Amino acid sequence: MAFAFGDHQIDLKRRELRRGTMLIDIEPKVFDLLAFLVQHRDRVVSKDDLLQAIWGGRVVSDSALTIRINAARRALGDDGATQRLIRTFTRKGIRFVGEVMEMPDQAAPAVADKPSIVVLPFRNMSGDPEQEYFVYGMVEEIIAALSRIRWLFVIAGNSSFAHKGQTVDVKQVGRELGVRYLLEGSVRRDGNRVRIVGQLIDAVTGAHLWADHFDGSLEDVFDLQDRVASNVAGVIEPLLQAVETTRSATRPTSDLTAYDLYLRAYAMFLSSARQFPEARRLMEQAVARDPGYGPALAWAAICCFRLILDGRSEDPAADRLKGADFARRSLERAGDDPGVLANAAVALAYFGEDIGTMMALVDRALALNPNFARGWHTGGMLRVWAGHPDGAIEYLEAALRLSPCTRVGTSANLIGLAHLFARRFDHAVPKLLLAIQDDPSFPAPYRFLAACYAHTGRLDDAREILARLRAVSVVVMPDVNHFRNAEHREVLLSGLRLALGE
């Protein structure tokens, strides 16, 4: 059973709370409390009712119960003052007073109310495992081309790659990701020649809707990608046809060696924080071959900022200057490329530019491509830095909705940091543990988790986490100047000082 009230939906079967299409992170007990209130909205619910239904009759303190009620209100954009949806009746209990509509299970929206597609990992038919990066980059470009179609909801590439190397049940994948269509295929690269084979499948019925192949040289690679996207769009929505996918006449680069270097570096950047130095080296080689290559410039800027942030930079002052220069040069070439805009914005924000301006730049990227998962992630990152933890979490949850099977480490790290800054330490801990598990070479979540443990009195756990941090980074007390809120900086630093016994 699912229920809708205002712009929210709560799905009891999936145990999901959504605002529109955005999934809201909510603690299990808080979800149970909210679900019970909605289901028993016809009456005032007493404390004893809640304890019996949610805690099995176990005694729970008034303060613990109040914390859960307030958390339920926050999840709905309500509070104890307005009590728009959850109202307290003195000495009686609480009641859900919003107007509720019951929905059949299948009516609970899983995706945006428009055609939706996932591009599954293409097979590498080149006979050379070293060409995997090229196939990955090719699929990313096809996803980017499809994402420019405003009427089409496109699942992010990192989520689709969770199915890499698997024999998939298309109907099951469609249900898991909440999409109507799947695009799968293969790429064969032989010297300077490329063949892309694709087929479009209806994930509901399993029917094959379209299949074709596209041959060309590496010099034609961008046209090949667009032709795949245009043909898919034409099948999904014949009335709009391929005009919606027309790309700018300005290509990212005309130097195919620069493009190859870019794809190699991009694959490294996504794999592990340990590979950032090599990714930066390759991006810089791409830029050296084509000084106006906007995406490579923007990613080179990101590499510089991450090397400094992670404590892996050999010369932070020089990398700071170099990264800011890369970012500014990328903006000169950005045009309407959402990826370049978002990457340049986060790099420049880290290097000290006005963060409000940088957030506006990311929002411009999202206006250009509302399906841009990494843009939502970047917007969340900047809002954490700006001192708006709750707003940051909304952006990060939107990113996870667009990319539900992606590696969750960096998003979990930022959500954990947002909870840390809001002093919701118990909420932060599981997110930060997840971030560490996802990429043990990423130093930031170790620092944030140690601070959380210290603030909650778990000093032995904090010291154990610091010991693990020292195995991946020599920096324990980080530079926190990119966090604009002084109180937030002190929450982190005071926690680390406690963990260090200072």
| 492 and 406 fall within a common domain | yes
| 493 and 410 fall within a common domain | yes
User: Per the domain annotation, does 202 fall within a domain?
Assistant: yes
Determine whether 91 is exposed, middle or buried from the number of CB atoms within 10 Å of its CB (0-12, 13-18, 19+). Answer: exposed
| 237 and 254 fall within a common domain | no
User: Per the domain annotation, does 451 fall within a domain?
Assistant: yes
User: Per the domain annotation, does 363 fall within a domain?
Assistant: yes
pLDDT above 60: residue 151: yes
Alpha-carbon gap, residue 72 to 220, rounded angstroms = 54
User: Among 74, 107, 140, where does a domain finish?
Assistant: 107
User: Per the domain annotation, does 124 fall within a domain?
Assistant: yes
DSSP 302-369: HHHHHHHHTT--S-HHHHHHHHHHHHHHHHHHHTT-HHHHHHHHHHHHHTTS-HHHHHHHHHHHHHH-
Strand order in the sheet with 2-5: 22-23, 16-19, 8-11, 2-5, 101-103
Least reliable range by pLDDT among 12-26, 49-63, 158-172, 367-381? 158-172
CATH number at residue 223: 3.40.50.10610
Alpha-carbon gap, residue 95 to 98, rounded angstroms = 9
Residues 276-306 have pLDDT tens digits of 888 888 999 989 988 988 889 999 999 999 8
Quickly count: other Cβ atoms within 10 Å of residue 318's Cβ. 11
User: Among 107, 140, 159, where does a domain finish?
Assistant: 107
- Pick the most confident of 16-30, 182-196, 303-317: 303-317
User: Per the domain annotation, does 389 fall within a domain?
Assistant: no
383, 401, 400: which is closest to 391 by C-alpha? 383
User: Per the domain annotation, does 95 fall within a domain?
Assistant: yes
- Tally the domains of the chain: 4
Residues 36-55 have pLDDT tens digits of 999 999 999 999 899 888 88
| 73 and 25 fall within a common domain | yes
- Structure confidence at residue 232 (pLDDT): 66
User: Per the domain annotation, does 366 fall within a domain?
Assistant: yes
pTM of the model: 0.55
| 31 and 132 fall within a common domain | no
- Amino acid (one-letter) located at 316: P
| 289 and 200 fall within a common domain | no
* Host domain of residue 449: 396-502
User: Among 86, 107, 128, where does a domain finish?
Assistant: 107
User: Per the domain annotation, does 377 fall within a domain?
Assistant: no
